[in-house]
Amino acid sequence: MDKKIYLFANWKMYLNPAETVDLARDYSKLSYPANSVVAVFPPTVSITEVIKIFNNKFAVGPQNTYWAEKGGYTGESSAATFKQLGCTHALVGHAERRHIFHESNHDVRLKIEAMLQLGITPVLCMGETAEERKKLQTEEVLESQIRSAFMDIVWPEGMEAIVAYEPVWAVGTGESCDPNEAERVASLISNWTEKLLKRPPVVLYGGSVRGENIKHYLSMSHLSGVLVGGASTKIETWSELVKNVS
């Protein structure tokens, strides 16, 4: 059987509720390669609508969660709530969460633990900043992100370990990472994860993925798919991307 191709779409805060519903309907109408696994991370307020529209055709999940189940945490939504709504996956540690909202490696770990308890598959996002890359700290930063997320954690049997390598300088900038460099980093991520979790991870690349460059990433042996932001939020660019996978 062909290797699975993961096409994950992060709609961020780009769409209002009406636009979200329209885009979800348009997503459902496209045809996708038989070996593709599609997951969509819509704005929180529209998650229920999107789940209804997809009707189990695609996975749906939040872009952020909180680890406690209930309590006085104004403005947060718990992983447990998303589970009850029917979410199967959740992004965690996205570059925008880490850098705009100052989420730490410790926060990320607590969120992952809460998700595992609930049976939600975490999609761990990680990456270095331009500054860290310039100072030759890329490996050190990534290794500490992954160790903090996975060290001594009990990973449920049968649950995939999904890691998205998203260099911060490539997210939303139009400046995508050289595919060979993404592959080099993906192989490091695979090795570290395999040592910590005793299983091979699914590694995705994210950061300015477009119709014209997706094939380069998918041809890399350690990359199983992509996490797409901007280009996933318009049906024209998303369909171009999907077409170029086939």
Q: Tell me, yes or no, if 99 is annotated catalytic.
A: no
Q: How many CA atoms lie within 13 A of 207 on its CB side?
A: 27
Restricted to residues 6-45, the positions that interact with ligand PGA (CB under 6 A) are: 10
Q: Which stretch binds ligand PGA (CB under 6 A): 62-70, 97-105, 186-194, 225-233?
A: 225-233
Please report whether residue 228 would count as binding ligand PGA according to CB under 6 A: yes
> What minimum distance in Å lies between the beta carbon of 176 and ligand PGA?
8
Min dist. Cβ of residue 152 to ligand PGA (A): 28
Residue nearest to ligand PGA (CB): 229
Q: Cα separation of 180 and 155, whole Å?
A: 30
Ramachandran class of 232: left when φ > 0, alpha when ψ lies in -120 to 50, beta otherwise:
alpha
Helix (H, G, I), strand (E, B) or coil at 43: coil
- Least distance in Å: CB of 207 to ligand PGA? 5
| H/E segment holding residue 100 | helix 95-100
Read off the tokens for 173: 């900038």
Closest contact distance (angstroms) between CB of 230 and ligand PGA is 3
Give the Cα separation of 156 and 120 in Å (integer): 10
Within 202-221, the residues that bind ligand PGA by CB under 6 A are 206-209
Residues between 167 and 186 that touch ligand PGA (CB under 6 A): 171-172
Of the candidates 124, 60, 61, which has an alpha carbon nearest to the alpha carbon of residue 90? 61
Give catalytic status of residue 216 as yes or no.
Answer: no
Catalytic residues, which ones?
94, 166
The residue ranges that bind ligand PGA (CB under 6 A) are 10, 166, 171-172, 206-209, 227-231
